[in-house]
């Protein structure tokens, strides 16, 4: 019997095979769309990611729900302390870089991240934001570039600036697999990454970021 488990939720957006290989215990968040509630399982058993993004593109926007305290509490009961795991988390948490871009500013507008005027003007001139999650867990717009290709290059440039370990890199995408594969190839060519894992941004996050989201995760000097 295992003495502890590594627990996360489905917003990790890992592929089910990766979660299984790493031995992760994944709690699914929920989302509602067209009057029905679904679980955000990593394997998409309740709703395939492609089907979700088709609904979003058709204008059928949804809502999302967090996991209740009771469910988390029940899942987190363990048999003994896990000091080594805690030390690893303490050591690495401030070095996990999460940089991403979105293709449609109107989804950020819905979440209050950009104003209606900025979303309208930015869409008109094809302005794309480059964002990251800071040390406090806040979503921060860092810069703006013009055009989709420039926004993807900006992610690579941030990796070049910050990365300290490129053995394993993760890419999450909002139903833009071909671009994600191109980005993965560029990461391998430019940085010599050994493993690059690609998976969908799931419905709970994708409901707020929209189709075309591209996120790059790696270990770096700082977040």
- Predicted model pTM: 0.84
pLDDT at 140 over 80: yes
Do residue 116 and residue 213 come from a single domain? yes
Do residue 60 and residue 102 come from a single domain? no
How many Å apart are CA 223 and CA 132, to the nearest integer?
8
Q: What's the pLDDT score for residue 107?
A: 86
Rounded alpha-carbon distances, angstroms, from residue 36 to 62, 63, 124: 9, 10, 34
Q: What's the pLDDT score for residue 74?
A: 81
Does residue 38 sit within a domain?
yes
Does residue 1 sit within a domain?
no
User: Beta-strand (E) ranges in the chain?
Assistant: 6-9, 24-27, 30-33, 36-39, 63-65, 96-101, 127-133, 139-146, 163-173, 195-200, 214-220
Q: What's the pLDDT score for residue 100?
A: 95
Widest CA span in the chain: 57
Do residue 102 and residue 84 come from a single domain? no
Q: What's the pLDDT score for residue 4?
A: 75
Do residue 213 and residue 103 come from a single domain? yes
Let me know: does 2 contact 190? Beta carbons within 8 Å: no
Domain holding 81, by residue range, is 6-88
How many Å apart are CA 163 and CA 150, to the nearest integer?
20
Do residue 71 and residue 175 come from a single domain? no
Do residue 58 and residue 117 come from a single domain? no
Do residue 116 and residue 66 come from a single domain? no
The most confident of the ranges 38-42, 63-67, 105-109 is 38-42
Do residue 110 and residue 39 come from a single domain? no
Do residue 79 and residue 104 come from a single domain? no
Do residue 123 and residue 207 come from a single domain? yes
Domain boundary among 88, 111, 133: 88
Domain boundary among 55, 88, 121: 88
**86 class by beta-carbon count within 10 Å (0-12 exposed, 13-18 middle, 19+ buried):** exposed
């Amino acid at each position: 019997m295992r003495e502890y488990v590594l627990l996360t939720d489905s917003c990790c957006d890992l592929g089910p095979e990766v979660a299984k290989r790493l031995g992760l215990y994944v709690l699914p968040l929920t989302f509602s769309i067209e009057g029905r509630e679904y679980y955000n399982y990593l394997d998409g058993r309740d709703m395939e990611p492609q089907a979700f993004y088709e609904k979003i593109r058709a204008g059928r926007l949804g809502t999302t729900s967090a996991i209740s305290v009771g469910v988390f509490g029940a899942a987190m009961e363990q048999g003994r302390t896990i000091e080594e795991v805690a030390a690893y988390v303490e050591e690495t948490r401030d070095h996990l870089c999460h940089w991403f871009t979105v293709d449609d500013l109107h989804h950020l507008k819905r979440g209050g991240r950009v104003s209606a005027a900025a979303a309208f003007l930015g869409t008109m001139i094809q302005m794309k934001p480059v964002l990251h999650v800071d040390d406090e867990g806040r979503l921060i717009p860092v810069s703006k570039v013009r055009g989709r290709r420039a926004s993807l290059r900006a992610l690579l440039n941030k990796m070049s600036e910050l990365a300290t370990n490129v053995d394993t890199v993760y890419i999450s995408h909002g139903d833009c697999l071909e671009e994600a594969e191109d980005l993965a190839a560029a990461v391998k060519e430019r940085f010599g990454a050994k493993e690059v894992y690609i998976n969908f941004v799931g419905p709970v996050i994708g409901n707020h970021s929209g189709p075309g989201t591209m996120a790059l995760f790696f270990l770096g000097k700082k977040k």
